[in-house]
Amino acid sequence: MSAYRRVLLKLSGEVFGGGRVGLDVGVVRSIAKEIAAVVNGGTEVAIVVGGGNFFRGAELQQNGLDRSRADYMGMLGTVMNCLALQDFLEQEGVETRVQTAITMGQVAEPYIPRRAIRHLEKGRVVIFGAGAGMPYFSTDTVAAQRALEIHAQVILMGKQGVDGVYDADPNKTPDAVKFDHLTYDEFLTRGLQVADATSVSLCRDNDIDMIVFNLSEEGNIARVVAGEKIGTTVAR
Ligand code: UDP
């Protein structure tokens, strides 16, 4: 049973790397299996893929690279994650299309929103890569933008090893308290880091819910798609 007809799933690069640089194929394979189950259950799934397991522009800038060039490197990293996910999804028998915001015809379609919607209607998973194609943005913001443009009903923010939004970093503060629900404004005024402020303000301005949940727990994609109250809902 699904609570949603169409969802936008954001997978951070950290997930793809299993917390390290490069790809943890075991993790990508198991996430692909979970996504396949949800798609086979009739939910339309679009995915925005992060790239922090390869490069983050801001970190490269600290090592002396020009910020814009570093951000392009970051965006190209997301595409490698897209191709890995595409491969494992197709091994599960799910039809997929990768669409990138930077044109690279040999490996992906360009980002064409109406075509993406058509793919979703046909039961294909659409994987969005290369962020927005613009430096100084993040894939969280792209997740909100793509969700709005393709009329997804919710943004599902899959995180590596953290089961929602806390009032402090739970890895550093043992008595950090988890929120079940937060308004957009509470999220922003507390300066929480789990999603970036631009993405949350885009959600607020356009009234779309964002659910932050733990991808490391098996079965959680199906749970959150079924409407089970896991993680933290950031909403009105
Ligand atoms: N990036 C960018 N513009 C975008 C999306 C991403 O410049 O629209 C770059 C940016 O350098 C970022 C990197 O790509 O650090 C990887 O994306 P992100 O950090 O959002 O990935 P995640 O944190 O989800 O792994």
Indicate whether 16 belongs to any domain. yes
**What is the CB < 6 Å shell around ligand 1?**
12-14, 50-52, 56-58, 71, 74-75, 78, 131-132, 134-135, 137-140, 142
Q: In this structure, what are the phi and psi dihedrals at residue 218, rounded to the nearest 5 degrees?
A: -60, 135
- Helix ranges (DSSP H) in the chain: 13-17, 25-40, 57-62, 67-91, 113-121, 139-149, 184-189, 197-206, 220-225
- Which atom number of ligand 1 is nearest to the Cα of residue 196? 20
The ipTM is: 0.98
Cβ–Cβ under 8 Å, residues 77 and 39: no
CATH label of the domain that carries residue 159: 3.40.1160.10
Tell me which DSSP letter residue 136 carries: T
Q: Residue 176 CB: number of other CB atoms within 10 A?
A: 12
Query: Which residue, by CA, sits nearest to atom 21 of ligand 1?
Result: 50
106-147 pLDDT tens trace = 999 999 999 999 999 999 999 999 999 999 999 999 999 999
Choosing from 71, 156, 160, 210 the residue with most ligand 1 atoms within 8 A of its CB, the one to mutate for a pocket test is 71
Indicate whether 1 belongs to any domain. no
Indicate whether 210 belongs to any domain. yes
Cβ–Cβ under 8 Å, residues 27 and 18: yes
Q: In this structure, what are the phi and psi dihedrals at residue 78, rounded to the nearest 5 degrees?
A: -60, -30
143-190 pLDDT tens trace = 999 999 999 999 999 998 899 999 998 888 989 999 999 999 999 999
Name the residue with tokens 């951070």. Answer: 12
Indicate whether 198 belongs to any domain. yes
| Number of domains observed in the structure of the chain | 1
The reply to whether the predicted model has a pTM over 0.90 is yes
Query: Which residue, by CA, sits nearest to atom 12 of ligand 1?
Result: 56
Q: In this structure, what are the phi and psi dihedrals at residue 100, rounded to the nearest 5 degrees?
A: -115, 150
Residue 154 is part of which domain span? 6-235
